[in-house]
Structure 1
Amino acid sequence: MPQEPQGLVERMEHHQIPIYLGAMALGALLGGAVPAAGPGLEHAINPVLGALLFVTFLQVPAGGLLRSLRDGRFLSAALVVNFVVVPLVVAAMFTFLPADQAVRIGVLLVLLCPCVDYVIVFSGLAGGSSRRLLAATPLLLIVQMLLLPGLLHLFMGADLADIVEVGPFVEAFLVLIVIPLALAWALQAWAVRKPAGRRISDAATTTMVPLMAATLVTVVASQVPELGGSLADAAAVIPFYVAFLVVMAFAGRTIARLFGLDVPASRAVVFTGATRNSLVVLPLALALPDDLALAPVVVVTQTLVEVIGMVAYVRLVPRLVPEPATVA
């Protein structure tokens, strides 16, 4: 009897890709059938993501996380791929974007900001170093908060650069990083001292797949109604988002090689370069003036494309960055 829950967990982990695809389909159906639920579900995104990241942080010992902060080569590679390579890639495609300012500002908002949440989960599924990504997330969030106004100024001019507010970034840092990390460390400390803490910790770590599925349902269901009658405008940016995922896979691998990273770190660099911070920048897009109301649709579209792309990345990145061949 005690083995039954573990068997269920193992089966979920083995079939997690179809589970995640099913979660996206369910979210799309829910969002289409009950569009009025969209605003409420949108408010649930951060709590669900926070729970997911709490479980993710729980699986990385605090000591290991602190040691990874001293991994200068990985942190340097992550900063270079996100804040040197990505802006260059975006600049190369910027001229070819639709001329509509709302479309362009939406694309810039979402592509210039590296992901700090579910990238850790997807990278881990592909054998990437979740520990290193965990250590890099606060730094990535702070740097993007500091650089985004300047990057928007370079691309769009001073007027549109002034729209960026610090509030949503600070809220995301607290809700998605600080609070889950503090709770995870507290539970780790309790688990070391008390059997009850250990049991709770072990139980929490078995919820990774259900929480990831719940996150996908919530995100997709909350955002599908936002597409509304703008499907044509959304479709216009899909090729750019797909191209970005393709280009950044190879760019990330190149940067990882330049920095001489091992396989898990290299895969993590590929993922951090490709995944974007759509869930955090969406409130920025929603706060734009009415004449830029199309920008949130553009951000939402990137989310949907990226989640599908991450499912593909989980399968393809281990082939792009394979384990070294062993000598018989």
Structure 2
Amino acid sequence: MSVIVAWGERHQIVLYLAAIVIGVVVGLRAPAVAHPLELAITPVLGLLLYATFLGVPFSSIGRAFRDVRFLAVLLVVNFVIVPVIVFGLSRFVAHDQALLIGVLLVLLTPCVDYVIVFTGLAGGAKERLLAAAPILMLGQMLLLPLYLWLFVGPELIDVVDLAPFLDAFLLLIVLPLAAAGLTQYAASRTRAGRALSDAAQSAMVPLMMLTLTVVVASQISGVGRQLPALLATIPLYVAFAVIMIPVGVVAGRTARLDVARTRAVVFSGATRNSLVVLPLALALPATFALAPLAVVTQTLVELIAMVVFVRLVPRVVPVRQRP
């Protein structure tokens, strides 16, 4: 078993790309699976985050929460710099309000779930991002209505229901984190607890593959049906991911963060909260039917980008060699 786990970790990038391809094939060949797989996204993502949280000692989370400089950089990047960039990019779809709202919903909200996984894979400070997750979630809940009011107008505020933010926070942060804490406690005292902890952490690569396949397969059919209308958003999402690499690097180095924390800033700035804001977009009136598909399109672009980032970011932010 250990040999299989080690093989999977060595070849994880290829395996993740294969999972995305499988998701595309399944979703296009069997569109009827889209709805049941969409219902499975939250449970599967919760399991992935549970396994991720297991690999972060809770003592590290406590220390990370006291890292004021890192938290300040993260907040500035996500809630000051990103909105300026998003406003500029969103002008290219400002003529279509449904696309505009979809783009704004997804790009203005920093990711608090699988960004932790990808950051860890790239050697970033995943425990810092885990500690920052509640702050980032609260920040976007408070600031998203303000950004929408500034970028679109006051008429949209009344039709956006922010309740899914609370649901996502409970199901994707609080519940997996509590379960991981209990498992760590059991692992320190019982053989069964240690076995469960080891098994969950060994399943990281399969769980990530399952998550990628489920997300892509559940959404690709809907995107395919409206692809001509959604094509305008794809260059915006690609441009956003590319722009956030130098933004994150410069922010980290300006604040004199170490390599691991700078990589975490890059990932946090580039990765968006698409799986959380999707229910917000789905709750919009029928006249905004393209908005949730614009959110889903960003998810598909981002998943591919994150697989690339896992290899690219360590090269852009290398470990400094001592003279």
Which TM class, normalised by the smaller chain length? over 0.9
Q: CA separation in 2, counterparts of 1:137 and 1:176?
A: 10
Specify the alignment match of 1:27 in structure 2.
23
154-163 vs 178-187, greater mean Cα deviation: 154-163
Specify the alignment match of 2:153 in structure 1.
157
Specify the alignment match of 1:308 in structure 2.
304
User: Is the Cα–Cα contact under 8 Å of residues 162 and 280 in structure 2 kept in the other structure?
Assistant: no
**What is the RMSD computed on CA atoms of the aligned residues?**
1.0
Specify the alignment match of 2:12 in structure 1.
16
Following superposition, which runs of at least 4 residues in structure 1 exceed 3 angstroms of deviation? Answer: none
AA at the equivalent of 2:275: L
Q: Report the alpha carbon displacement of residue 228 of structure 1 after superposing the two structures with TM.
A: 4.2
Q: CA separation in 2, counterparts of 1:135 and 1:226?
A: 35
Specify the alignment match of 1:101 in structure 2.
97
Specify the alignment match of 1:233 in structure 2.
229
Specify the alignment match of 1:119 in structure 2.
115
Q: TM-score, normalised by structure 2?
A: 0.98
User: Is the Cα–Cα contact under 8 Å of residues 161 and 283 in structure 2 kept in the other structure?
Assistant: no
Match of 1:283 among 279, 297, 304: 279
**5+ unaligned residues in a row in structure 2: which ranges?**
none
**5+ unaligned residues in a row in structure 1: which ranges?**
none
Q: Report the alpha carbon displacement of residue 66 of structure 1 after superposing the two structures with TM.
A: 1.4
Match of 1:252 among 248, 251, 258: 248
Q: TM-score, normalised by structure 1?
A: 0.97
User: Is the Cα–Cα contact under 8 Å of residues 253 and 321 in structure 1 kept in the other structure?
Assistant: yes
Specify the alignment match of 1:40 in structure 2.
36
Q: Report the alpha carbon displacement of residue 163 of structure 1 after superposing the two structures with TM.
A: 2.4
Q: Report the alpha carbon displacement of residue 255 of structure 1 after superposing the two structures with TM.
A: 0.9
Specify the alignment match of 1:84 in structure 2.
80
Give CA deviations for 1:223-276 in whole Å, capped at 9, x if unaligned: 012214211112111111111011111101111112110000000000000000
Q: CA separation in 1, counterparts of 2:284 and 2:246?
A: 34
Q: CA separation in 1, counterparts of 2:199 and 2:247?
A: 38
Specify the alignment match of 2:210 in structure 1.
214
Q: CA separation in 2, counterparts of 1:59 and 1:237?
A: 36
Match of 1:145 among 119, 123, 141: 141
Specify the alignment match of 1:181 in structure 2.
177
Q: Secondary structure, in 3 states, of the residue corresponding to 1:325?
A: coil
Q: Report the alpha carbon displacement of residue 322 of structure 1 after superposing the two structures with TM.
A: 1.1
Alpha carbons of structure 1 residues 65 and 183: separation in structure 2 relative to 1, 3 Å: same
Q: CA separation in 2, counterparts of 1:131 and 1:150?
A: 29
Q: CA separation in 2, counterparts of 1:200 and 1:312?
A: 31
Q: Report the alpha carbon displacement of residue 179 of structure 1 after superposing the two structures with TM.
A: 0.4
Q: Report the alpha carbon displacement of residue 211 of structure 1 after superposing the two structures with TM.
A: 0.2
Q: Report the alpha carbon displacement of residue 142 of structure 1 after superposing the two structures with TM.
A: 1.1
AA at the equivalent of 1:216: L
Q: CA separation in 2, counterparts of 1:311 and 1:57?
A: 20
Q: Report the alpha carbon displacement of residue 64 of structure 1 after superposing the two structures with TM.
A: 1.2
Q: Count matched residues.
A: 323
Tell me the percent identity: 57
Q: CA separation in 1, counterparts of 2:26 and 2:179?
A: 32
User: Is the Cα–Cα contact under 8 Å of residues 149 and 162 in structure 1 kept in the other structure?
Assistant: no
Match of 1:193 among 179, 189, 194: 189
Specify the alignment match of 2:266 in structure 1.
270
Give CA deviations for 1:103-148 in whole Å, capped at 9, x if unaligned: 0000000000001111111111111111101111111111101110
Q: CA separation in 2, counterparts of 1:36 and 1:126?
A: 35
1:317 to 2:313 alignment: yes
AA at the equivalent of 2:58: A
